[in-house]
Structure 1
Amino acid sequence: MIGNPEAPEVRCHDLVTTFDGQLVLRRLNLTVPARSVTTLVGASGAGKTTLLRHVLGLLAPYRGTVTIGGRDVWDSSEAELREIRRGISALLSGPTLFNGSTYASLTVREHLLAVLWEKHGEAVGPAREHGSNPYLKLWTPGLEGSRGRSIPGELIERANAVLERFDLVDVAELRPDELAARVRRRAALAATLTVDVPLYVLDDPDGALDSTHRRAIIDTLRETQVRAGATVLVTTHDLALAEEISDRVMVLAAGRIVAEGAPGETLRGIEAWYEMEDDYRLNESSTPAPIPGQRPYSNARPLTRLAQRLDLPDPHADDAARHWGFVLALALLAAVIALVTGWAALHYSAWRPV
């Protein structure tokens, strides 16, 4: 095993996120225990991907803190943030692999080798060729016969093992644009799990889990976590996956963690994510069960009250303005009708023959 620092605990405190004046995360608090697999479940649009982007330092929250191993992600210098990210291997959501990336010109095998070298090159020693530039032959077009020879044997062996484990051997020499969408997703997940890091962040790995490869991928995920002694944070719509891989499950709804605990207990009786959405739905006429350490929601217009406490734009302000504008328009129309009717009645009575 290639050496690894101690796995970190991940904490989010009082996170607030807004898009176009709408609250997405509402003073969210969560703790991902070190050396465990924690899965975040929730309906589409609940804010799962947004939360992971806060954790990865890709999207700044409106308010709140994110710490990884006690280091504040959003209070770090660029150098400190790079150091934090060196300890993370992430699978971002999306249907394709290497979008907008230099890796788009690499084959699946080359991408695995590049990721391995980036994370572990110094740990395994200098490359056998092109010592200071191990990517030279890897990234130079037209050197098909030489590709990969500048990478140390240990990393080549690991890449080959991953290709076989994820059933990618037959597509190892293909570029991303030559792969089917599901195969690209599987290749991206393989690249994420091929390295040993303290923290894995996997956003919606469901796309890689077809019936043929599901068992092998789940086993690999668990084995990787044990081998690296890592912390793993996953988001998914697949509740069966969440129950199978997780030490702990958290449910995200209405911008907060509304339930958390052991998978069997938290997901008991829920067969699909849309049932979960119904079970945990928060609206303006319902009050969810309070979470230990957090204040419960108020029944009366909770989003408006929260916006006031946070000094944010009232998400209901436009709706309220439209409502009262409509009421005023109706009142004016009624007054006009009453005036016209009264005038007509008086006029008729004044001119009616006796």
Structure 2
Amino acid sequence: MRYGQRRVLDDIRVPALTAGSLTALIGPNAAGKSTLLRGVAGLAPASGRVLLDGEDLARSPQAERARRMAYLPQTLPGRSRLGVFEAVLSAAMAARPGRGHAAAADLHAVDAVLARLDLTALADRGIDALSGGQRQRVGLAQALVRDPAVLLLDEPTSALDLHHQYRAVDVIRRETRARGLITLLVVHDINLALRFADRVLVLHDGRLVADGKPGAVIDRELLARVYRVDGEVTGIGGRPTVLVHGVVRRPHSGAGRREADAIGNP
């Protein structure tokens, strides 16, 4: 994939992602994570193939691709005259075209997903009256209620507080398993990937540099090479956690720059 003449992603070859699995896509800023998601969703030009159950989605109409994949961007529009319940119901109905009215199953599905994402109290509030974090949760509800085969989520926790970050990713993992979804989730906080992901893909300089189980992939060498930090994976409260001790200086380059936002540590 390119932006103009600049190649952003090159030779990305991902072994099959399986139904019911949550894969975290991690890497430093400008590694190409969001670009990859947009390419898979068919929202940006890309060479190569994206196969779903053996079918090359590049040969499918975009409407069919959108029906089978739900893509949630990092930034959602704030201007809308719809209320929260109406917005999520519209997404449910759009996923099943041909009906002129909402079925009882649609209403039940909307109620259920709002409850799981702690949005019931906001059901009658207008989208334009919500905070950025609340809009992100509404966007996630819209993605889940469509019942796609594939979920592509670009940093759905970036505007959420700590409680709602963990609650949202826990819901994503449980829904992925219960519905047999293929979920690809971009996260900056490596500790979220360690705790919730079945698998991680690591992008660096536009290439896939690591792929596997989080505990096997995320280690001191990866933190130094990809994120340029001196860190380790240790157990806190029985859970693997990344701790950062300092920066890794580039040769002949001064102090370097700490990538704390990418690790999830202050």
TM-score by length of 2: 0.77
Which among 78, 91, 99 is matched to residue 115 of structure 1? 91
Which among 227, 233, 258 is matched to residue 277 of structure 1? 227
Instruction: Name the amino acid aligned to 1:202.
Output: L
Contact 1:29 1:256 in 2 (8 A): no
RMSD across aligned positions (CA): 2.4
CA deviation string 1:229-281 (max 9, x = no partner): 1111111111111112211101101111011111011112489x8984227xx
**Which residue matches 1:89?**
70
Residue 215 of structure 1 deviates from its aligned partner by: 3.6
Query: Could you list the runs of 5+ residues in structure 2 that have no partner in the other structure?
Result: 230-266
CA deviation string 1:27-78 (max 9, x = no partner): 22223422121111011111111111110111112x32222222223333xx
Contact 2:24 2:187 in 1 (8 A): yes
Which among 152, 159, 163 is matched to residue 212 of structure 1? 163
Rate the CA distance shift 1:202–1:117 in 2: closer, same or farther, 3 A. same
Mapping of 1:300-315 within 5 angstroms? Answer: none
**Which residue matches 1:28?**
12
Which among 254, 257, 271 is matched to residue 205 of structure 2? 254
Residue 185 of structure 1 deviates from its aligned partner by: 1.1
1:234 aligns with 2:185: yes
**Which residue matches 2:136?**
185
Rate the CA distance shift 1:29–1:73 in 2: closer, same or farther, 3 A. same
CA deviation string 1:130-166 (max 9, x = no partner): xx522xxxxxxxxxxxxxxxx2222212212222222
1:69 aligns with 2:53: yes
**Which aligned segments of 4 or more residues in structure 1 are displaced greater than 6 angstroms?**
none
Mapping of 1:140-159 within 5 angstroms? Answer: 151-159=102-110
SS at match of 1:205: coil
Residue 22 of structure 1 deviates from its aligned partner by: 2.0
Which among 41, 44, 54 is matched to residue 29 of structure 2? 44
CA deviation string 1:194-234 (max 9, x = no partner): 33221111111122542232343222112211121111111
Mapped to 2, the partners of 1:195 and 1:245 lie a distance apart of 22
Contact 1:90 1:192 in 2 (8 A): yes
1:133 aligns with 2:83: no
Rate the CA distance shift 1:190–1:50 in 2: closer, same or farther, 3 A. same
Contact 2:204 2:226 in 1 (8 A): no
Contact 1:108 1:174 in 2 (8 A): yes
Rate the CA distance shift 1:89–1:19 in 2: closer, same or farther, 3 A. closer
Rate the CA distance shift 1:86–1:20 in 2: closer, same or farther, 3 A. closer
Contact 2:150 2:181 in 1 (8 A): yes
Q: Which has the higher helix share?
A: 1
Q: Which has the higher strand share?
A: 2
Contact 2:26 2:33 in 1 (8 A): yes
Mapped to 2, the partners of 1:268 and 1:243 lie a distance apart of 11
TM-score by length of 1: 0.59
Contact 1:97 1:185 in 2 (8 A): no
Contact 1:158 1:194 in 2 (8 A): yes
Contact 2:157 2:165 in 1 (8 A): no
SS at match of 1:237: coil
Larger Rg: 1
Mapped to 1, the partners of 2:125 and 2:174 lie a distance apart of 27
1:174 aligns with 2:125: yes
Segment of structure 1 superposing worse, 258-267 or 165-174: 165-174
Rate the CA distance shift 1:106–1:112 in 2: closer, same or farther, 3 A. same
Mapped to 2, the partners of 1:251 and 1:167 lie a distance apart of 31
SS at match of 1:187: helix
Rate the CA distance shift 1:26–1:191 in 2: closer, same or farther, 3 A. same
- Looking at both structures, which has the greater relative contact order when contacts are Cα pairs under 8 Å and sequence separation is at least 6? 2
Rate the CA distance shift 1:218–1:20 in 2: closer, same or farther, 3 A. closer
